[in-house]
Amino acid sequence: MSEIQIPILDLSTEVELLWDELNAAFQAVVRDGRFIMGPQVREFEAAVAAMLGVKHVIGLNSGTDALVLALRALGVGAGDEVITTPFSFFATAEAIHHMGARPIFVDIDPQTFNIDVAQVAAAITPRTRAIIPVHLFGQMADMDELMHLARQRGIAVVEDAAQAFGATYRGRYAGTMGVAGAFSAYPTKNLGAYGDAGFLATNDDGVAEAVSMLRKHGSRRKYYNEAVGYNSRLDTLQAAILQVKLPHIPEWNALRRAVAARYDELLATMPQVVTPFAAPEREHIYHQYTIRLKGVDRDRVKALLAEAGIGTMVYYPVPLHQLPMYAGQDWHLPQAAQAAREVLSLPMWPHITPEQQQQVAAALRQAIAAAG
């Protein structure tokens, strides 16, 4: 296999551009010595809340914990059901399991890869306590229809916005339409830390109070524990790094859309390639640029691209309902299963050059021809 020349993600340009600011932020935390819940955590939370236009942002250890604590704050527990998509990272379903609840999977919209809201109503039962839409690859789900249904049925919506910081739906930010929004700041995300990190956004005072308490072992005051909670605090160092990056997100998201537009043009003459669909009412931030490959062996194309020095990823090769823990359950979700066989994510970051994209497109064309 050839050495990868164009990786799926390259953060080196971002680091170089921000090096002085990052270094200053790092030194400030180290010299101050407040590594746990230092002032940078509160400053970052306030800055994100202002950007998103929400009352509360709570810094956490990860996006997974944001989902777990949101469900816990809502009282989801044993015997409850939570409707979600099977086409996501396992953390979405895992958070439901941690509450003792059961995930109920609904198939996806084949164009956007997001939950098919038209199928959600049929999945609701008296046990349904929440719905978790996943704003996959940086594009929001059909939130107007979903919120209308949820309000009619009295069901909470927790947005899994781990891949969609800054994405919008009719002018509203991802993570601000449901009762809570869960965000990941894993290093690969568009707002990425240099380690595990995440945060939760909400306009609900009760949810905010519960999550703030639960992240610190279930205590409002140290040693006066009121509930069995978690150790899920956002590290001060990570908050400082994220605070440096935060003002650049609008520009970087715009650059991602420009990169996606160039890919769209470069791949337009390849009939085997279905480029990402961006719904007109939604502002996609292209956390991933994910194509479908039709009439050609996706895995063979991926291997040939690797031989040509092009990094790609398959998000996700196994839909959640096909994992071993769901064996024996009667799920019929053909769109998710088909997507898992066809999707391929190409190199994507704000500062990828047009020349690199041309190289990716040329290698893809050759790989498709060889695999066909």
- Domain boundary (188, 220, 247) is at 247
Instruction: Tell me: do 169 and 29 sit in the same domain.
Output: yes
Instruction: Tell me: do 218 and 279 sit in the same domain.
Output: no
DSSP class of 302: H
| pLDDT above 60: residue 1 | no
Q: Would you give the distance in Å from CA 50 to the centre of its chain?
A: 20
pTM here?
0.96
Q: Is residue 5 part of a domain?
A: no
Are the C-beta atoms of 40 and 30 separated by less than 8 Å?
A: no
pLDDT digits 0-9 by tens, 139-198: 999 999 999 999 999 999 999 999 999 999 999 999 999 999 999 999 999 999 999 999
Instruction: Tell me: do 119 and 21 sit in the same domain.
Output: yes
- Domain boundary (247, 273, 295) is at 247
Write down the pLDDT at residue 2.
64
Q: Is residue 4 part of a domain?
A: no
Instruction: Tell me: do 355 and 298 sit in the same domain.
Output: yes
Write down the pLDDT at residue 4.
82
Q: Based on the number of CB atoms within 10 Å of its own CB, is 129 exposed (0-12), middle (13-18) or buried (19 or more)? A: buried
Residue 243 tokens read as: 């605070």
Q: Quick one: what percent of the chain has pLDDT higher than 70?
A: 99
Instruction: Tell me: do 150 and 205 sit in the same domain.
Output: yes
| pLDDT above 60: residue 233 | yes
Give, to the nearest 10 degrees, the angle between helix 39-52 and helix 236-245: 40
| pLDDT above 90: residue 3 | no
| pLDDT above 90: residue 133 | yes
State which H helix or E strand residue 213 sits in. helix 205-214
How far is Cα 283 from Cα 253, in angstroms, rounded to an integer? Answer: 10
CATH of the domain at 166: 3.40.640.10
Instruction: Tell me: do 181 and 273 sit in the same domain.
Output: no
Q: In sequence order, what DSSP letters do the residues of 11-57 get, joined into one string?
A: -HHHHHHHHHHHHHHHHHHHHH---BS-HHHHHHHHHHHHHHT-SEE
Instruction: Tell me: do 274 and 184 sit in the same domain.
Output: no
What average pLDDT does range 305-311 have in this prediction? 97
How far is Cα 117 from Cα 107, in angstroms, rounded to an integer? Answer: 9
The number of residues making up the chain comes to: 372
Q: What is the mean pLDDT of the chain?
A: 97
| pLDDT above 90: residue 319 | yes
Q: Quick one: what percent of the chain has pLDDT higher than 90?
A: 98
Instruction: Tell me: do 161 and 279 sit in the same domain.
Output: no
Query: What is the residue type of 297?
Result: D
Instruction: Tell me: do 230 and 362 sit in the same domain.
Output: no
Q: Based on the number of CB atoms within 10 Å of its own CB, is 31 exposed (0-12), middle (13-18) or buried (19 or more)? A: exposed
Write down the pLDDT at residue 330.
86
pLDDT digits 0-9 by tens, 82-104: 999 999 999 999 999 999 999 99
| pLDDT above 90: residue 347 | yes
Domain of 259, in residue numbers: 248-371
pLDDT band (50, 70, 90) for residue 328: confident
Rg (the chain; Cα; Å)? 21
Coil, strand, or helix at residue 141? coil
Query: What is the residue type of 300?
Result: R
Q: What's the domain count of the chain? A: 2
CATH of the domain at 317: 3.90.1150.10
What average pLDDT does range 205-209 have in this prediction? 98
Instruction: Tell me: do 114 and 232 sit in the same domain.
Output: yes
